[in-house]
């Protein structure tokens, strides 16, 4: 049996603002943007050169979903972005004025910093040790 996680839904308040953040500031690829109906789109973004996994940007459709924007995990780090060049990608966060929640630290397993996306979700930027 073979299984894999293909997408994870990330609740956002606006499709276009989210696409702009992920593609212009984090330099992700826009994998797909398909209109499903007047209010719903199928929007997938993924880090450049990644394979097999993407974020589904899901616009909040009701008050309960809106209440989860930016806090899908109760304040814990939600997503983990591995990089092959921490310095380059951390500088990109600073250049794009992305909020840094925890400054970089070197751990036994790699270098990590925590940043906040446009909705307030927490991300780890990680360069693992080889």
Whether domain 1-69 has CATH 1.10.600.10: no
Where exactly are the structural domains of the chain?
A: 1-69, 70-130
1-69 and 70-130 have identical folds: yes
Instruction: Work out the average pLDDT over 4-23.
Output: 96
Report the predicted TM-score, pTM, of the whole model to 2 decimal places: 0.93
pLDDT for 52:
83
User: What's the CATH class of domain 70-130?
Assistant: alpha beta
SS (H, E, C) the chain: CCCCCCEEEEEECCHHHHHHHHHHHCCCEEEEEEECCCCCEEEEEECCCCCCCEEEEEECCCHHHHHHCCCCCCCCEEEEEECCCHHHHHHHHHHCCCCEEEEEEEECCEEEEEEECCCCCEEEEEEECC
pLDDT tens for each residue of 38-93: 999 999 999 998 888 999 999 999 999 999 999 999 999 999 999 999 999 999 99
């Amino acid at each position: 049996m073979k299984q894999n996680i293909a997408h994870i839904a990330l609740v956002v308040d606006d499709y276009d603002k989210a696409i702009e953040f992920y593609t212009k500031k984090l330099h992700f690829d826009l994998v797909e943007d398909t209109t499903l109906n007047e209010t719903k789109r199928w929007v997938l973004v993924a880090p450049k050169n990644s394979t097999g996994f993407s974020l589904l940007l899901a616009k909040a459709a009701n008050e309960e979903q809106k209440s989860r924007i930016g806090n899908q995990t109760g304040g814990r780090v939600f997503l983990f972005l591995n990089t092959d060049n921490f310095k380059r990608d951390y500088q990109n966060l600073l250049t794009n004025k992305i909020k840094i929640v925890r400054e970089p630290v070197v751990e036994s397993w790699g270098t990590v910093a925590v940043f906040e996306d446009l909705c307030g979700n927490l991300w780890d930027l990680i360069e693992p040790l080889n």
